[in-house]
C-alpha cells in the first residue's frame, strides 16, 4: 500500500513538471470523450423523436383502403371497385385469429366547421369506441372520448383536434360543453385532443379533425361504404400471413382473385418502425465511429507525450535502476502515468458531456432532435475504450523505459 501511495505521489510530481504538455494531452482526451458521449446521446435522442413522431398516429397499426380489381375472376372483369362495409370489421375479426382489434372508419373531407363567424374546413371522421385507443385520441382534462351510448343513441357530439379548438375558441377556452356547427348541424363538444406530435397520417392531421360517432355519421351523410379499416395484430411477426388471409377472406366475399393485390391496398405502419430502427442504427454507428476516431487522435497525442517523457527522463530512469528499481517497477510507473491521464480525461469529459446534454435539453428542439440523455453504458464503454487506449499507447514507451540499460541511461545528457 505504501509503495502504491509513493508511486502515485511520484507520478503526480512528474506530471506537474510537464504541465503544459499534460494539459494539451488531457484536452485531446476530454474532447474525444465529449464527442463520443454527446454524439451518441443525440443519436439515441433522434431515434426516440422519430419513434414518437411516428407513433403519434398509433402503434402497430395497419390501414386497409379499398381499390379496383386488377385481374378478371370467375366471369367478372378487371377494374371493379372494391369498397368495404362496416360488417367487414366483424367478419375479419372472426375469421383472422391474429387480428387483435379492428375498427371501421368513415371519412368526409373539407367540411366547414363553424363557431359564430369563424369557419374552418376540417376532416370529419365517423368512428367507434375502439378507434380512440388505437389512434391515440387522448382527451385533455375535463373531456372524454366517444362511448357506446353515444353510438347507440346516435348523439350529435364531437371530439375535436386541439388546433381546431384553438382556432374556433382560442387557447384559453376549454371548449368542452360548447356547441359548434358541422355544416348546419349543431354538435356538442365532449372532448378536445391532447396535444401530440404526429408527423404521419393518411389524411388531415388529428389536430385539425373532428370525430363523431359512426352511427351519427351514417344518419347525417347516408354513407354505406367505409373510407378504410384500421386494425392491430396480436403478433406483428405474422404480418405476411395475416395479409394473405385478408385477401382470401375479402376475396371470397367480394369475388376477386386472392392474388390480386390491386383489389385493396394495405399500409402497415410497422414498416416505418423497421426503417427507423435501421436508419438510427446506421446513424449511431456512424456517430460512434466519429467519436472513436476522435478518441484515437487523443490516444496518439498521449503516446507522443509518453515517448517524449521517456526520452527526457532517461537519466532519471538510470538513477532509479542503479539504486535498485526493477524493470517491472519502471514499467508499472509509466503505465500508471498513462492510465491516470486517461482516467482524468475521461472523468472530465463525462462531467462536461452531462452538463452539455442538460443545457441542450433545455432548448426547444425536442420535436426535431428528441431528448438527448447521457447513457451510462455508453459512458462506461467510453471509459473502457480510453483505458484500453491508455494501456496500449502507454505500454510501448513504458517498455522502452523499463528495458533501458543502466549504464546507457546514466550516460544520457540533455
Q: Which tens digits make up the pLDDT trace of 38-50?
A: 877 777 777 666 6
What secondary structure letter does DSSP report for 139? B
| Predicted local confidence at residue 37, as pLDDT | 81
Residue 85's Cβ-side half-sphere holds a number of Cα atoms within 13 Å equal to 7
What secondary structure letter does DSSP report for 59? S
What is the CB neighbour count within 10 angstroms for residue 161?
25
Query: What ranges make up the beta strands (E) of 116-205?
Result: 118-127, 157-160, 179-182, 185-192
Question: Are 280 and 46 within 8 A, CB to CB?
Answer: yes
Lowest mean pLDDT among 167-171, 238-242, 394-398: 394-398
Please, which contacts does 137-141 make with residues 24 or more away whose CB atoms are closer than 8 Å? 137/193, 137/206, 137/211, 138/193, 138/194, 138/196, 139/191, 139/192, 139/193, 139/194, 140/174, 140/176, 140/191, 140/192, 140/193, 140/194
pTM for the full predicted model:
0.69
Q: Which tens digits make up the pLDDT trace of 105-115?
A: 999 999 999 99
Summary mean pLDDT of the chain: 82
Segment (H or E) for 209: strand 209-213
Q: Which tens digits make up the pLDDT trace of 263-275?
A: 999 998 877 777 7
Report the C-alpha gap between 369 and 361 in whole angstroms: 10
Report the C-alpha gap between 227 and 151 in whole angstroms: 18
What ranges do the domains of the chain cover? 2-54+274-411, 61-268
11 vs 326, more confident: 326
Report the C-alpha gap between 103 and 47 in whole angstroms: 29
Q: Where are the alpha helices (DSSP H) in 100-197?
A: 129-134, 148-152, 162-169
Closest CA to 345 of 39, 31, 36: 31
pLDDT at 215 over 50: yes
Q: Which tens digits make up the pLDDT trace of 90-104?
A: 999 999 999 999 999
Share of the chain above pLDDT 70, in %: 78
Percentages helix, strand, coil for the chain (3-state, rounded to 5) are: 55, 20, 25
CA-CA distances (angstroms) from residue 171 to 119, 163, 376? Answer: 16, 9, 40
| Predicted local confidence at residue 336, as pLDDT | 76
| Predicted local confidence at residue 135, as pLDDT | 93
15 vs 112, more confident: 112
Q: Which tens digits make up the pLDDT trace of 302-334?
A: 777 766 666 666 656 666 656 556 667 666 777
Q: What are phi and psi of 103, to 5 degrees?
A: -140, 140
Amino acid at each position: 500500500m505504501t509503495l502504491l501511495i509513493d508511486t502515485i505521489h511520484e507520478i503526480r510530481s512528474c506530471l506537474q513538471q510537464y504541465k503544459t504538455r499534460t494539459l494539451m494531452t488531457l484536452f485531446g482526451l476530454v474532447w474525444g470523450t465529449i464527442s463520443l458521449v454527446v454524439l451518441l446521446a443525440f443519436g439515441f435522442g433522434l431515434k426516440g423523436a422519430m419513434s414518437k413522431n411516428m407513433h403519434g398516429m398509433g402503434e402497430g397499426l395497419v390501414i386497409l383502403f379499398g381499390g379496383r380489381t386488377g385481374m378478371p375472376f370467375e366471369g367478372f372483369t378487371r377494374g371493379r371497385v372494391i369498397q368495404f362495409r362496416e360488417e367487414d370489421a366483424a367478419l375479419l375479426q372472426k375469421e383472422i385469429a391474429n387480428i387483435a382489434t379492428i375498427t371501421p372508419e368513415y371519412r368526409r373531407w373539407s367540411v366547414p366547421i363553424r363557431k359564430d363567424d369563424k369557419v374552418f374546413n376540417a376532416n370529419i371522421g365517423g368512428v367507434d369506441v375502439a378507434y380512440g385507443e388505437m389512434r391515440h385520441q387522448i382527451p385533455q382534462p375535463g373531456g372524454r372520448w366517444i362511448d357506446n351510448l353515444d353510438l347507440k343513441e346516435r348523439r350529435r357530439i364531437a371530439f375535436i383536434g386541439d388546433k381546431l379548438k384553438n382556432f374556433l375558441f382560442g387557447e384559453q377556452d376549454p371548449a368542452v360543453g360548447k356547441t359548434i356547427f358541422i355544416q348546419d348541424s349543431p354538435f356538442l363538444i365532449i372532448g378536445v385532443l391532447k396535444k401530440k406530435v404526429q408527423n404521419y397520417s393518411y389524411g388531415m392531421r388529428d389536430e385539425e379533425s373532428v370525430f363523431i360517432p359512426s352511427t351519427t355519421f351514417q344518419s347525417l351523410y347516408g354513407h354505406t361504404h367505409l373510407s378504410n379499416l384500421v386494425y392491430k395484430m396480436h403478433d406483428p411477426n405474422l404480418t405476411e400471413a395475416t395479409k394473405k388471409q385478408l385477401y382470401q377472406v375479402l376475396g371470397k366475399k367480394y369475388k376477386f382473385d386472392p392474388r390480386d393485390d390491386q383489389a385493396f391496398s394495405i399500409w402497415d405502419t410497422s414498416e416505418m418502425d423497421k426503417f427507423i430502427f435501421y436508419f438510427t442504427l446506421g446513424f449511431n454507428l456512424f456517430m460512434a465511429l466519429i467519436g472513436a476516431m476522435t478518441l484515437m487522435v487523443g490516444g496518439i497525442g498521449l503516446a507522443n507525450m509518453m515517448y517524449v517523457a521517456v526520452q527526457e527522463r532517461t537519466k532519471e530512469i538510470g538513477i532509479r535502476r542503479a539504486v535498485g528499481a526493477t524493470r517491472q517497477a519502471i514499467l508499472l510507473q509509466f503505465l500508471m502515468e498513462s492510465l491516470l491521464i486517461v482516467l482524468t480525461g475521461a472523468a472530465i469529459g463525462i462531467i462536461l458531456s452531462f452538463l452539455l446534454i442538460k443545457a441542450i435539453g433545455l432548448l426547444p428542439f425536442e420535436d426535431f432532435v428528441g431528448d438527448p440523455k447521457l447513457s451510462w453504458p455508453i459512458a462506461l464503454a467510453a471509459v473502457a475504450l480510453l483505458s484500453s487506449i491508455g494501456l496500449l499507447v502507454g505500454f510501448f514507451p513504458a517498455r522502452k523505459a523499463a528495458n533501458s540499460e543502466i549504464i546507457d541511461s546514466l550516460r544520457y545528457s540533455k
